[in-house]
Amino acid sequence: MSQPYVEHPFAGVRRATREVPVGDVGVGGSNPLRVQSMTTTNTLDTQATADQVQRLVDVGCEIVRITAPGQKEAQNLGAIATELGRRGVRVPLVADIHFAPNAAMIAAEHVEKIRINPGNYADKKKFAVLEYSDAEYAEEVERVAQRFRPLVRRCKELGRAMRIGTNHGSLSDRIMNRYGDTPAGMVESALEFLDVCENEGFGDVVFSMKSSNAQVAIQAYRLLAARLAERAAASRLADLPFHLGVTEAGDGVDARVKSAIGIGSLLEDGIGDTIRVSLTEDPVKEVPVARALARRYDARFAAGSKPDAAAAAGERIWLETVDPYVHERRATRELACGTTRLGGDRDVRVELDLGPVPTDAGSAARELRTSLAAQPDVGCEGVGVAVSGAAAQARVAPFQMALRDAGIEAPLVVAVPAEEAAAVAPAAGRIAVPVPGEGGTPPQALSDAARAADSAGVPLEWMLCGPDVEALVDAALAAGASRPLFSVASNHPVHAVRRMVARLAARGCDAPVVLRHRSDATLDAESALLAAGTDLGAPLCDGVGDAVVLSGFGDAGRTVALGYRILQGARLRTTWTEFISCPSCGRTLFDLEETTARIKARTGHLDGVKIAIMGCIVNGPGEMADADFGYVGSGPASVNLYVGKELVERNVPTEESDDRLVELIRKHGRWKDPAD
């Protein structure tokens, strides 16, 4: 790419966009991040849909999307808008269109914005493998443009906005054959539609690049930002706003974590103007999640993050060394850490930080064992304690023994001031030494700590804790530990980690990186969860991180499990079944929330298996992305079952469907019985 996806990867400067008016709500420009959601009612049921829209508006939803699967539903959007007007509910409505250009033309008469999916606006999905010559390909693009152009003209006449909403799972056969199932294909798909808008002089357009895979979503949005920047010299539409989302994220903690990783990573880049969090739950629950994500960045964007001139060299190194469009884990050396190993090709480790070393070693270790035992799917791979002063130092060895007595073999990671490192290193699996900024620990003390770690044969994690990250890296490297690791504490951890890694790259150092996250006690539980998802997930998606360390979330077992959920959400380490479930909409043929809960209870233990649960056969099969098995509503009381993209059982009665899905998984060798 001739243009980077972001100019200042260390600052999160907001991508400059134009304002697109959606009714009387502006998206992009200097507007705050807009929060939106989508109804799940039948669009022909005017009262039920108006009720749900009203409930969404009551909790702060600023734009509401409603499905318009056909012309009747598109027509009824007018009745819904009228009913909302009668109730005094003012909110822009968006018609969601798939496979139905005629419905789009009708909907444009009634609502403020039309969402089209370039993968199916004028293409039927047949999963066909075709070879196109360049001339045939161009002909196809022109055919699509002809179908699309009337809608663009009508939107322009009526002052409607449009979203060109690409989904990873529903790219057209034409795009799939040329670009594959890739971020590049997603971007190309959107740009073909943008060209029509450009030719018609229509610029009230917003983009989305959604995927159920957070990594793919991040890569696609970044690639689109870069491609638009590249077109800026020749295009008037290079500054269009972005609608962010991770689609089919599922429900519960996993869906929130996945959304925080995908959406939060992009907001850290300064990319994004409006957010929809997609949950297989009551849509009203989507709004506070989106609002919490937006809240973190609205203040930053309003304050206008300034690029740090001193960091410019590091930013260049980051942009040159980290490919933002492909996930590649940063190459690090492997280190022994107690009984485990860390870095290199090892899985990213999950550790727990307990804070000050316990005074009652035995009961603390037993309590930890009980809490971890309640999460049998996961293991704690490092236990952190903090030590300062002689009394605390004396508690390290007894706590180490108490952990062993309790059957906890995880290495003890002891955070200790440099001056005290020698006293605790022999009893530790790793020591973690703070490197404060100017006027902090003298270089001699850091060197002494490095010597203490080396002579005890343990790795030393340098915990950088000051704004001048580059100088802190240099100070730590000068101390000369032979088995170093690095972590950094900052109010903007994603950017601080990037700075640290760029400096390590500049110094030719392949030390592993530890990502530490302490829950902010001032946040509510949901916001704390989202912050962890972003602050740990964003670096992981950048390919950085050999261990994650969590603290401050209360129950130890659940805290460790959260670490594993973040690794699964970032697609780095799979512990449970991955569920890709649609949020449901007016097309849905069964109770998705209830069905998802039922299927999860039967199959949630199948690590490495991806199961899609989709509400309808119109969009479901196309949107299942890379699921191994699909469970898709085919009628009011029946489902179709898929293996990959292949339909293998049609119209299975709902009462038999769960058993038949399990049988199918068994038949394909992916089943295992749940642990007791």
DSSP classification of residue 3:
S
To ligand SF4, the closest distance from the beta carbon of 48 in angstroms equals 16
CA 310 from centre of chain: 30
Q: Please state whether beta strands 547-551 and 349-356 pair in parallel, antiparallel, or not at all (unpaired).
A: parallel
**Which is nearest to 461 in space by CA: 436, 441, 429, 485?**
485
Q: Which residue has the tokens 């962010």?
A: 244
Q: Could you say which of 400, 584, 640, 657 contacts ligand SF4 (CB under 6 A)?
A: 584
CA distance 270 to 304: 10
Q: Of 283-291, 376-384, 424-432, 613-621, which part binds ligand SF4 (CB under 6 A)?
A: 613-621
Here the tokens at position 126 are: 């047949």
Q: ∠71-75-77 over CA atoms, to 5°?
A: 120
Q: Could you say which of 95, 403, 449, 614 contacts ligand SF4 (CB under 6 A)?
A: 614
Residue 616 lies near ligand SF4 (rule: CB under 6 A): yes
Query: 119: exposed, middle or buried (C-beta count within 10 Å: 0-12, 13-18, 19+)?
Result: buried
Q: ∠290-292-296 over CA atoms, to 5°?
A: 115
Q: Could you say which of 9, 23, 484, 615 contacts ligand SF4 (CB under 6 A)?
A: 615
Nearer to ligand SF4, 139 or 646 (CB): 646
Nearer to ligand SF4, 430 or 587 (CB): 587
Q: Of 15-23, 27-35, 393-401, 614-622, which part binds ligand SF4 (CB under 6 A)?
A: 614-622
Q: Of 16-24, 139-147, 548-556, 616-624, which part binds ligand SF4 (CB under 6 A)?
A: 616-624
Q: Of 52-60, 358-366, 615-623, 655-663, which part binds ligand SF4 (CB under 6 A)?
A: 615-623
Nearer to ligand SF4, 441 or 619 (CB): 619
To ligand SF4, the closest distance from the beta carbon of 55 in angstroms equals 18
For the chain, report the end-to-end CA distance as a whole number of angstroms.
52
Q: Of 299-307, 320-328, 582-590, 660-668, which part binds ligand SF4 (CB under 6 A)?
A: 582-590
Nearer to ligand SF4, 103 or 223 (CB): 103
Nearer to ligand SF4, 93 or 572 (CB): 93
Q: Could you say which of 619, 634, 640, 657 contacts ligand SF4 (CB under 6 A)?
A: 619
Concatenate the DSSP letters of all residues of 303-319 into one string.
Answer: HTPPP-GGGHHHHHHHH
Q: ∠633-638-643 over CA atoms, to 5°?
A: 60
Phi/psi at 156 (5° precision): -65, -45
Nearer to ligand SF4, 547 or 585 (CB): 585
CA distance 676 to 673: 9
To ligand SF4, the closest distance from the beta carbon of 200 in angstroms equals 28
Residue 263 lies near ligand SF4 (rule: CB under 6 A): no
Here the tokens at position 518 are: 């302490």
CA distance 57 to 489: 38
Beta bridge partners of 464: 435, 488
CA distance 289 to 583: 14
86 in helix, strand or coil? helix
To ligand SF4, the closest distance from the beta carbon of 279 in angstroms equals 11
Residue 582 lies near ligand SF4 (rule: CB under 6 A): yes
CA atoms within 13 A on the CB side of 504: 25
Distances (CA, A) of 154 to 26, 114, 510, 674: 20, 11, 56, 56
To ligand SF4, the closest distance from the beta carbon of 342 in angstroms equals 41
Per-residue contact flags (x/-) with ligand SF4 for residues 2 to 41, judged by CB under 6 A = ----------------------------------------
To ligand SF4, the closest distance from the beta carbon of 281 in angstroms equals 13
Residue 76 lies near ligand SF4 (rule: CB under 6 A): no
Residue 620 lies near ligand SF4 (rule: CB under 6 A): yes
CA distance 11 to 3: 17
CA distance 657 to 602: 12
To ligand SF4, the closest distance from the beta carbon of 250 in angstroms equals 12
Q: Return the axis-axis angle of helices 214-231 and 183-199, rounded to nearest 10°.
A: 40
DSSP classification of residue 617:
T
Query: Is the separation of the CB atoms in 59 and 83 below 8 Å?
Result: no
Q: Could you say which of 116, 583, 631, 664 contacts ligand SF4 (CB under 6 A)?
A: 583
Residue 402 lies near ligand SF4 (rule: CB under 6 A): no
Residue closest to ligand SF4 when measured from CB atoms: 615
Residue 73 lies near ligand SF4 (rule: CB under 6 A): no
Here the tokens at position 339 are: 């009984």
To ligand SF4, the closest distance from the beta carbon of 33 in angstroms equals 23
Nearer to ligand SF4, 39 or 559 (CB): 39
CA distance 179 to 192: 13
Q: Could you say which of 268, 353, 623, 658 contacts ligand SF4 (CB under 6 A)?
A: 623
Q: Of 192-200, 467-475, 517-525, 619-627, which part binds ligand SF4 (CB under 6 A)?
A: 619-627
To ligand SF4, the closest distance from the beta carbon of 300 in angstroms equals 32
Q: Of 8-16, 217-225, 584-592, 636-644, which part binds ligand SF4 (CB under 6 A)?
A: 584-592
To ligand SF4, the closest distance from the beta carbon of 596 in angstroms equals 11
CA distance 88 to 53: 12
Residue 52 lies near ligand SF4 (rule: CB under 6 A): no
Residue 246 lies near ligand SF4 (rule: CB under 6 A): no
Q: Of 103-111, 124-132, 459-467, 576-584, which part binds ligand SF4 (CB under 6 A)?
A: 576-584
Residue 569 lies near ligand SF4 (rule: CB under 6 A): no
Give Rg (Cα) of the chain. 26
Compute how many residues bind ligand SF4; rule: CB under 6 A.
13
To ligand SF4, the closest distance from the beta carbon of 101 in angstroms equals 17
CA distance 251 to 143: 39
Q: Could you say which of 117, 487, 568, 588 contacts ligand SF4 (CB under 6 A)?
A: 588
CA distance 502 to 354: 30
DSSP classification of residue 357:
P
Residue 166 lies near ligand SF4 (rule: CB under 6 A): no
Residue 94 lies near ligand SF4 (rule: CB under 6 A): no
Nearer to ligand SF4, 609 or 614 (CB): 614
**Which is nearest to 645 in space by CA: 612, 674, 597?**
612
Residue 630 lies near ligand SF4 (rule: CB under 6 A): no
To ligand SF4, the closest distance from the beta carbon of 278 in angstroms equals 8
Nearer to ligand SF4, 99 or 564 (CB): 99
Task: Give one word for 114, left, alpha or beta, with left for phi > 0 and alpha for psi -120 to 50.
Answer: beta
Helix (H) or strand (E) holding 514: strand 514-518
Helix (H) or strand (E) holding 372: helix 361-373
To ligand SF4, the closest distance from the beta carbon of 549 in angstroms equals 37
Residue 459 lies near ligand SF4 (rule: CB under 6 A): no
The amino acid at residue 213 is N
Residue 585 lies near ligand SF4 (rule: CB under 6 A): yes
Concatenate the DSSP letters of all residues of 278-341 into one string.
Answer: --SS-GGGHHHHHHHHHHHHHHHHHHTPPP-GGGHHHHHHHHHHS-TTS--PPP---EEETTEE
Here the tokens at position 356 are: 């000050």
User: Where do contacts with ligand SF4 occur on this chain (CB under 6 A)?
Assistant: 582-585, 587-588, 614-616, 618-620, 623
